[in-house]
């Protein structure tokens, strides 16, 4: 009996202890639940749109994760306020560039350069940037290259002629290193666009050769290309224009290079028309489609008209793009290059080949092709490019 009583007592005490423990656990859970819900909301959490935008860009890899100065967003905080390590907080391959040009995007932004070969130079799988000098070197060292052992390319956009445009140290050699960085960024961005959207890779590495300065005032060009994959960009043409800071200008020359792979003897209206249109499409801005010039915006969202006018051809393409969207329009353009007649063809052949690209992709009798054909013919007609008889009916 005694044993039974003792056993009963032990069981009862154990049950009491267990119940007591459960009760305590239940209280903790009940007490913690609202705390856990509240905890993520920090009083010091950033709430301004500016901060969250920056954070989003870091998360997406668009900019480098660096501590920013509150008074100067986009710039590192000063050493007086923050630990010195902030200056090494940039991610590898970080760079600072104008996303389009100094007029449309006047505040340099942080980007992450892609496809670099880790040599420290602005040299990658698809693009190489080399500095040449014209007849007046002005401190330029022929064949020189930007070199960064950390693969971080953050320089200030000092203007040519200002102190620290050229210099013998990183601290004093800011402006022209900024120019070279921009050239790599622009060239690699468009090469990536061709790979991502058209599955097209230029057969050899493109070398962007920067001439500083170029002062042949008789030549009216921002750059030239050759069959060996070179793009030549002068830093300065008559006037205060630095073409190395014009993303569209470098993309313009790159587009020529690719187009010449398909059409060996292109007409000026098509050659220039595509090279004017495509960079604007890539950066999604129709303004300053060619020749960065504050006095001449050359917006291809415009009524430019005429069979022999490259801007009219580019404007017709932009008109098509507004209705078919960037992806479809650019893809049809790229496909049209492969089916253009060999030899010298003009704006009409450009339009017809665009419609033929739609035919080949969607089928002559498909509803999509019929809609595309109508949109394309109407858009080109608005810009004075007409040839109804040239286009096969469904």
Interface with Zn ion (CB under 5 A)? 272, 275
CB of 276 to Zn ion, least distance (A): 8
CB of 137 to Zn ion, least distance (A): 27
Q: What is the dihedral of CA 64, 67, 70, 75, to 10 degrees?
A: -50
153-157 — which CB contacts under 8 Å span 24+ positions? Answer: 153/93, 153/94, 153/95, 153/96, 153/113, 153/122, 153/177, 153/181, 153/184, 154/90, 154/94, 154/95, 154/96, 154/110, 155/96, 155/181, 156/96, 157/98, 157/102, 157/108, 157/245
CB of 290 to Zn ion, least distance (A): 7
The residue with its CB nearest to Zn ion is: 275
CB of 275 to Zn ion, least distance (A): 5
Beta carbon nearer to Zn ion, 102 or 249: 249
SS3 state of residue 278: helix
Beta carbon nearer to Zn ion, 175 or 187: 187
Beta carbon nearer to Zn ion, 215 or 260: 260
CB atoms within 10 A of CB 392: 10
Beta carbon nearer to Zn ion, 268 or 394: 268
Using CB atoms within 10 A of its CB, is residue 163 exposed (0-12), middle (13-18) or buried (19+)? exposed
Beta carbon nearer to Zn ion, 242 or 359: 242
Residue 135 Cα distances to 141, 212, 213, 216, angstroms: 12, 9, 8, 10
Beta carbon nearer to Zn ion, 257 or 353: 257
Is residue 150 within 8 A of residue 186, CB to CB? The reply is no
CB of 103 to Zn ion, least distance (A): 20
Using alpha carbons, select from 191, 338, 316 the residue that is nearest to residue 251. 191
Beta carbon nearer to Zn ion, 275 or 351: 275
CB of 248 to Zn ion, least distance (A): 11
CB of 388 to Zn ion, least distance (A): 30
Alpha carbon 303 to chain centroid, angstroms: 27
Q: How many CA atoms lie within 13 Å of 143's alpha carbon, on the beta-carbon side? A: 0
CB of 235 to Zn ion, least distance (A): 18
Beta carbon nearer to Zn ion, 133 or 275: 275
Using alpha carbons, select from 281, 291, 94 the residue that is nearest to residue 193. 281
Beta carbon nearer to Zn ion, 90 or 259: 259
Using CB atoms within 10 A of its CB, is residue 269 exposed (0-12), middle (13-18) or buried (19+)? buried
CB of 271 to Zn ion, least distance (A): 7
Is residue 272 within 8 A of residue 346, CB to CB? The reply is no
SS3 state of residue 1: coil
């Amino acid at each position: 009996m005694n044993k039974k009583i003792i056993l009963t007592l032990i069981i009862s005490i154990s049950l009491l202890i267990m119940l007591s423990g459960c009760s305590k656990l239940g209280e903790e859970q009940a007490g913690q639940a609202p705390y856990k819900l509240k905890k993520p909301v920090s009083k010091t959490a950033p709430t301004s749109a500016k901060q969250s935008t920056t954070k989003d860009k870091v998360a997406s890899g668009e900019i480098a994760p660096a501590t920013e100065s509150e008074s100067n967003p986009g710039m590192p905080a000063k050493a007086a306020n923050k630990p010195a390590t902030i200056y090494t907080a940039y991610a590898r391959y970080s760079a600072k560039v104008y996303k389009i040009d100094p007029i449309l995007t006047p505040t340099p932004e942080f980007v992450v350069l892609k496809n670099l070969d880790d040599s420290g130079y602005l040299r990658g799988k698809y693009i190489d940037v080399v500095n040449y000098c014209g007849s007046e070197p002005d401190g330029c060292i022929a064949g020189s290259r930007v070199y960064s052992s950390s693969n971080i390319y953050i320089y200030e956009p000092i203007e040519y002629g200002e102190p620290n445009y050229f210099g013998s140290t990183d601290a004093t050699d800011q402006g022209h290193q900024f120019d070279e960085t921009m050239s790599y960024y622009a060239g690699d961005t468009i090469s990536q666009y061709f790979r991502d959207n058209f599955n097209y890779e230029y057969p050899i590495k493109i070398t962007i050769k920067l001439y500083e300065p170029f002062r042949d005032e008789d030549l009216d060009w921002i750059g030239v290309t050759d069959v060996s994959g070179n793009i030549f960009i002068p830093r300065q043409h008559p006037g205060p224009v630095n073409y190395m800071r014009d993303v569209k200008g470098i993309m313009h020359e790159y587009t020529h290079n690719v187009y010449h792979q398909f059409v060996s003897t292109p007409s000026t209206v098509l050659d220039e028309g595509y090279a004017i249109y495509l960079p604007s499409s890539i950066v999604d801005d129709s303004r300053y489609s060619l020749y960065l010039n504050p006095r001449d915006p050359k917006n291809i969202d415009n009524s430019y008209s005429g069979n022999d006018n490259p801007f009219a051809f580019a404007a017709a393409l932009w008109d098509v793009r507004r209705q078919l969207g960037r992806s479809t329009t650019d893809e049809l353009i790229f496909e049209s290059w492969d089916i253009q007649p060999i030899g010298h063809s003009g704006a009409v052949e450009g339009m017809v080949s665009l419609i033929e690209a739609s035919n080949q992709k969607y089928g002559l009798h498909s509803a999509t092709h019929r809609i595309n054909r109508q949109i394309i013919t109407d858009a080109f007609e608005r810009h004075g490019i007409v040839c109804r008889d040239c286009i096969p009916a469904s």
